[in-house]
Amino acid sequence: MMRILTMTNAHHYGDFRFHSLVSQYFRKCDGAILMYDVSNRNSFLGVRDWVSLLEEHSGDEMIPRVIVGNKSDLRDKTEEAMTSMAEYVTTEMGQNLAKLYHAEFVETSVLKNTHIEDAVVNLSRLMKIREDYTQNAIKLSKSKKKFQDCCH
């Protein structure tokens, strides 16, 4: 059974009580969805903290992950309706962050129900690739050991 962890900045990163639970959240995690709000640059910047926590507490720097920019529908509104264009996170910024952390990238809109499934499918695909790679590596090391034992 694989464990997928979804973390957003709605979780209280600065809350002391939360820090004591972090290692439990990340322990034996097989994949993570790290989500930010495209209309809130601070939530975007917080993804870096989540990646650091994920790597530190999972003990795995290459854990499969998908970075998700949510509320993409807000960019569809007219400029007059947007309160602060400078606060919005561009698609390119999200893509660059994903490249930096070796992650897949998806923009979603929960309101319009767009691309949500893509995030989960992408993470599932990455987790399956990793699982297959790990299983093959284990098989190879076992058969190599058997070969060495019989010939010496």
CATH number of residue 26's parent domain = 3.40.50.300
Q: In this predicted model, what pLDDT tens digit does every residue of 110-135 receive, in sequence order?
A: 899 989 889 889 888 888 887 776 66
pLDDT at position 130 is: 77
Give dist(CA 87, CA 38) in Å, integer.
8
pLDDT at position 104 is: 94
Residue 122 CB neighbour total at 10 angstroms: 21
* Alpha-carbon Rg for the chain in angstroms: 19
Q: How many domains does the chain have?
A: 1
Rounding to the nearest 10 degrees, give the CA dihedral for residues 112, 9, 1, 57. 160
Domain housing 37: 4-151
Close Cβ partners of 51 (under 8 Å, ≥ 6 residues apart): 34, 65, 101
Give dist(CA 115, CA 70) in Å, integer.
10
Q: What is the pLDDT along the chain (152 residues), one digit of tens a residue?
A: 455 555 545 444 445 456 667 667 777 778 888 999 999 888 999 899 888 888 887 777 778 999 999 999 887 664 555 555 667 899 999 999 999 999 999 999 989 998 988 988 988 888 888 777 666 665 555 555 555 555 55
